[in-house]
């Protein structure tokens, strides 16, 4: 069905020429990352419907592309996210409660409730804050890579973006600069077939998105994005090329956005349920589970234990996060100016006085 690089077959067996031969612990960690992302999505969508968080953007169907790519990167590399990759932040070691604090915009939210929900940042894990306008993260990632190259760091920057972002001028600027200056950039395009209600056929007249790399003078590769090992292998190769001075690569991961664009969207208004069902049959998590089972690393009991463990972990984190109060009102005035200007100080004093009354 998909003319793209593929490692895990439908029955869970792998192509021996392409299998990255992950040790059991890494393979299980990859599965856990995907399961955590999926269970978290379901729980957060439910919390949003209950009015306990304001907004959520799920990754349903894209777990393999997100976790596979994130796990292919080294700790010194940077990850520049789009907005659908909390799973990648968790791979980087972001504590679940910190992620939930961002979603709730409370006093322990690293960005003090000033970002939109789902705009995670995890500085300790080299995970850049999200910028909302589509495609703007692409030049940021190329800039990070360019800085690394100038400093002589042996590291790469991975940037996530969608099929819709390939229509932006920032995509061109980033790809062109990366090609000319051979920056250590891994462009990971999650082609999930839709940009909210606009299908990918309306974004481009090219047969693939991967082939766009050719025009910028570097390699593009198309992988089955429902196959975590295919994404992992292609991203790892691209990251190694980047770190060793061979410049950027574009990886197009063919996926499908199985869920709504966000908690504010109803996709049944613009797309055919039969198309969704066709892609649902290729579920990346079910396929990876078959691979684990074939390797003799998984069974019903381990599955049940994992689900229980992740469910409990999320429950505990939600309970803890919901007890944290909102950011103090005075924080409105912090973090912007090193020396607060007089007129702002006046407003701050007026606010403090009025709060005291
Ligand atoms: C410049 C800009 N235009 C429009 C929007 C509204 N918007 C948010 S996400 C999105 C679609 C992006 O689609 P894609 O790049 O395919 O990513 P996906 O959501 O499918 O992961 C749009 C149009 C925006 N955030 N920024
Ligand atoms: Mg898309």
- Over residues 169-224, the pLDDT tens digits come to 999 999 999 999 999 999 999 999 999 999 999 999 999 999 999 999 999 999 99
What is the whole-number distance in angstroms between the Cα of residue 193 and the centre of ligand 1? 12
Residue 1, pLDDT > 50, answer no
Instruction: Give the pLDDT mean for 325-352.
Output: 92
pLDDT class of 147 with cuts at 50, 70, 90? very high
In short, whether 84's Cβ falls inside 6 Å of ligand 1 is yes
Instruction: Give the pLDDT mean for 232-252.
Output: 98
- pTM of the full predicted structure? 0.96
User: Tell me: domain 24-326, CATH 3.30.70.360, correct?
Assistant: no
Distance CA 55, CA 315 (A): 19
In short, whether 164's Cβ falls inside 6 Å of ligand 1 is yes
Instruction: Give the pLDDT mean for 148-157.
Output: 97
Ligand nearest to the CA of 196: 1
Closest residue by Cα to atom 13, ligand 1, is 195
Point out the residues that are catalytic.
257, 261, 270
Closest residue by Cα to atom 9, ligand 1, is 134
Q: Which of 105-119, 148-162, 168-182, 260-274 has the lowest mean pLDDT?
A: 105-119
Distance CA 342, CA 288 (A): 59
Residue 49, pLDDT > 50, answer yes
Among the residues of 212-327, which ranges form H helices?
Answer: 212-215, 228-243, 273-280, 284-294, 300-322
Interstrand relation of 198-199 and 185-191 (parallel, antiparallel or unpaired): unpaired
Closest residue by Cα to atom 25, ligand 1, is 133
Question: Could you state, in order of their start, the residue ranges of all structural domains in the chain?
Answer: 24-326, 331-357
Quick one: pLDDT at residue 223? 98
């Amino acid at each position: 069905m998909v003319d793209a690089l593929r490692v895990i077959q439908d029955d869970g067996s792998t192509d021996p020429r392409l299998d990255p031969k992950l040790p059991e612990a890494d393979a299980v960690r990859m599965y856990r990352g995907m399961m955590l992302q999926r269970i978290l999505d379901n729980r957060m969508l439910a919390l949003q419907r209950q009015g306990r968080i304001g907004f959520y953007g799920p990754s349903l169907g894209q777990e393999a592309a997100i976790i596979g790519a994130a796990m292919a990167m080294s700790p010194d590399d940077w990850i520049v996210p789009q907005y659908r990759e909390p799973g990648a932040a968790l791979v980087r070691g972001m504590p679940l409660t910190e992620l939930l604090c961002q979603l709730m915009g409370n006093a322990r939210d690293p960005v003090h409730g000033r970002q939109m929900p789902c705009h995670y940042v995890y500085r300790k894990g080299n995970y850049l804050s999200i910028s909302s306008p589509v495609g703007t993260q692409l030049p940021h990632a190329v800039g990070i890579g360019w800085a690394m190259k100038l400093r002589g760091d042996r590291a790469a920057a991975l940037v996530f973006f969608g099929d819709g972002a390939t229509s932006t001028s920032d995509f061109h600027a980033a790809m062109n600069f990366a090609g000319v200056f051979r920056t250590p950039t891994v462009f990971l395009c999650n082609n999930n077939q839709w940009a909210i209600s606009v299908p990918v056929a309306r974004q481009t007249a090219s047969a693939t998105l991967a082939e766009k790399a050719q025009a910028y003078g570097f390699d593009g590769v198309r992988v089955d994005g429902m196959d975590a090992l295919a994404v992992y292998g292609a991203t790892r190769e691209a990251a190694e090329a980047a770190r060793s001075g061979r410049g950027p690569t574009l990886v197009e991961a063919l996926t499908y956005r199985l869920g709504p664009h966000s908690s504010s969207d109803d996709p049944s208004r613009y797309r055919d349920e039969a198309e969704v069902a066709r892609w649902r049959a290729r579920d990346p998590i079910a396929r990876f589970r078959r691979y684990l089972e074939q390797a003799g690393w998984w069974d019903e009991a381990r599955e049940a234990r994992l689900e229980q463990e992740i469910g409990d972990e999320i429950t505990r984190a939600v309970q803890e996060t919901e007890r944290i109060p909102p950011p103090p009102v005075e924080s409105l005035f912090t973090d912007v100016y090193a020396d607060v200007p007089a007129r702002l100080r006046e407003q701050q004093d007026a606010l403090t006085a009025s709060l005291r009354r």
